[in-house]
Amino acid sequence: MDGKIENIQDAGLSAQFVMDGLDIMVENPKCELQFRTPFELLVAVVLSAQCTDKRVNQVTSELFKTHSTPEAFVNISQEELEEKIHSCGFFHNKAKAIKSASRDIIERFDGKVPSNFDDLTTLAGVGRKTANVVMAEAFGGDNFAVDTHVLRVSNRLGLAHFQDPNKVEQQLCSIFPKETWSKLHYQMVLFGRYCCKAMKPECERCVFNCSCPSSRI
Ligand code: SF4
């Protein structure tokens, strides 16, 4: 153990301690993706897999000028869509997912993005993370989306000990009060993006550096 605390909860640190720390580190948590409708958000979240929000916003600022409805994405050819979203990476699968989800939304949900989690996850290309983000951001739900940043931060802080995002989601939901889930999601995303970075975490300026089991100082 090297005198290190293995688990932030074992150390007697409460969920409140983590929430207070994140309130200091990330004062104004918010979604950095730009969108005007639940459907645009859905498209943006699909595009954001393995891609930065900045890049997605660059792409969607042009894309949404001409394509912002499920009908528009059903009617655009796979090739043309791939070309438009090329710089987001994984463009073939992302274009396929967006077109399939658009078709599903038209055929099964009357052209509207469903506002409940279970229906959202029946859409092609929409997994738990995407559904959780859409529920929280577009419909004001209490949801804890686990992306790569939330996964990393949770494990580094000792809040979770899994690499499976579904298990981490379960764990986080069991630790924190429901009404805090959406806010904590964004705080962990931004904290992971700008401080507890994958390659070089900035532990020297982190409020958790005295108790974090992964601290490098
Ligand atoms: S102390 Fe370092 S590893 Fe731990 S949460 Fe802070 S930045 Fe991340």
Is residue 12 predicted with pLDDT exceeding 60? no
Q: What is the mean pLDDT of residues 41-69?
A: 96
Domain assignments of the chain as residue spans, ordered by start: 15-29+143-205, 38-139
Q: What is the pLDDT of residue 4?
A: 41
pLDDT digits over 70-84, tens only? 999 999 999 999 999
Is residue 8 predicted with pLDDT exceeding 60? no
8 lines ligand 1 (CB under 6 A): no
Q: Phi and psi of 74, rounded to 5°?
A: -70, -35
Q: Using 50, 70 and 90 to split pLDDT, how confident is the model at 15?
A: confident
Q: What is the mean pLDDT of residues 201-207?
A: 97
Q: What is the pLDDT of residue 57?
A: 98
Q: What is the pLDDT of residue 125?
A: 84
Cβ contact 59:85 at 8 Å: yes
Cβ contact 208:4 at 8 Å: no
Q: Which fold has domain 38-139?
A: Endonuclease III; domain 1 (1.10.340)
Q: Residue 216 CA: which ligand 1 atom is closest?
A: 2
pLDDT digits over 114-140, tens only? 999 999 999 988 999 999 999 999 999
Neighbours of 103 (CB within 10 A): 16
Q: What is the mean pLDDT of residues 93-104?
A: 97
Ligand 1: residue of 13, 188, 215, 217 to mutate (most ligand atoms within 8 A of CB) is 215
Q: Which fold has domain 15-29+143-205?
A: Endonuclease Iii, domain 2 (1.10.1670)
Reply yes or no on whether 147 is catalytic.
Answer: yes
18 lines ligand 1 (CB under 6 A): no
Q: What is the mean pLDDT of residues 32-40?
A: 97
Cβ contact 213:204 at 8 Å: no
HEC string for 175-211: HCCHHHHHHHHHHHHHHHHHCCCCCCCCHHHCCCCCC
- Tell me, in angstroms, the distance from the centre of ligand 1 to residue 1's CA: 17
Task: Give the CA count within 13 Å in the CB-facing half-sphere of 46.
Answer: 26
Q: Residue 215 CA: which ligand 1 atom is closest?
A: 1
Q: What is the pLDDT of residue 45?
A: 96
Same fold flag, 15-29+143-205 and 38-139: no
pTM of this prediction? 0.88
Determine the Cα angle at 23 with ends 19 and 29, to 5°.
Answer: 110
Cβ contact 94:47 at 8 Å: yes
| Residue of 147, 167, 178, 200 marked catalytic | 147
Is residue 13 predicted with pLDDT exceeding 80? no
- Tell me, in angstroms, the distance from the centre of ligand 1 to residue 151's CA: 13
Task: Give the CA count within 13 Å in the CB-facing half-sphere of 88.
Answer: 26
Reply yes or no on whether 94 is catalytic.
Answer: no
Mean pLDDT (the chain) is 93
- Of all protein residues, the one whose alpha carbon is nearest to atom 2 of ligand 1 is 203
201 lines ligand 1 (CB under 6 A): yes
